[in-house]
Structure 1
Amino acid sequence: MRLDKFLKVSRLIKRRTLAKEVADQGRITVNGKKAKASSVVKEGDELAIRFGQKLVTARVDMLKDSVKKDEAGNMFTILKEEKLDKVEPEFIDDED
């Protein structure tokens, strides 16, 4: 499943266009590698998403094309949430 679609369906990010923008800004990694919106995610993958001054790490537990709002939380597990004091270097370099 595409990363942007997973983020929307799981409700980690509410809108797919916003998920695409966040990925295009280099603020998402999948298994430690910078990810694009079109990157494919699988069950067991680890996502790190930077929301402003917060870094959220989540594991993909389930992939479904659509789920009810109350079941969306079952698609992932939050592994950790960190408050960032400054911008992490891995999120600002432009190398692939």
Structure 2
Amino acid sequence: MRLDKFLKVSRLVKRRTLAKELCDAGRVSLGDRVAKGSSPVQIGDILSIRYGHKRITVEVLQLMDNPRKEQASSLYRVLSEERLEQVNTHFVDDEE
């Protein structure tokens, strides 16, 4: 199954086009590598997804083409969920 489709059917991302955009922006990793939306996903794969200031890491447990809403959360297991600190891009001039 394609990564963008898995993200959508598992309800980790609301729309498949948004899942593809996240992958194209380099915000989704499959194992240790940045993944494309077309990357194949298999049971046991570890996915890391960055949403704004949050990163979630999940393990793929099942693959289903059209799961019901209540089945979607059984497709993966959350391994970690962390809040990312915003990088301060404002520099203060010390000479003032």
State the TM-score, normalizing by the size of structure 2.
0.88
> How many angstroms apart in 2 are the aligned matches of 1:28 and 1:75?
17
> How many angstroms apart in 2 are the aligned matches of 1:78 and 1:86?
23
> How many angstroms apart in 2 are the aligned matches of 1:37 and 1:82?
23
- Which position in structure 2 is the counterpart of 1:41? 41
Matching residue's letter, 1:76: Y
> How many angstroms apart in 2 are the aligned matches of 1:77 and 1:57?
9
Shift of 1:31: 0.6
The alignment covers a number of residue pairs equal to 87
- Which position in structure 1 is the counterpart of 2:72? 72
- For 1:63, what is the secondary structure of its paired residue? coil
Matching residue's letter, 1:81: E
Quote the RMSD (CA, aligned, Å). 0.9
Alignment of 1:14-25 (within 5 A): 14-25=14-25
Alignment of 1:47-86 (within 5 A): 47-86=47-86
Rg comparison, structure with higher value: 2
Q: List structure 1 segments (4+ residues) > 6 angstroms apart after TM superposition.
A: none
State the TM-score, normalizing by the size of structure 1.
0.88
> How many angstroms apart in 2 are the aligned matches of 1:56 and 1:62?
18
Shift of 1:86: 3.7
Q: Which runs of no fewer than 5 residues in structure 2 stay unpaired?
A: 88-96
Shift of 1:32: 1.1
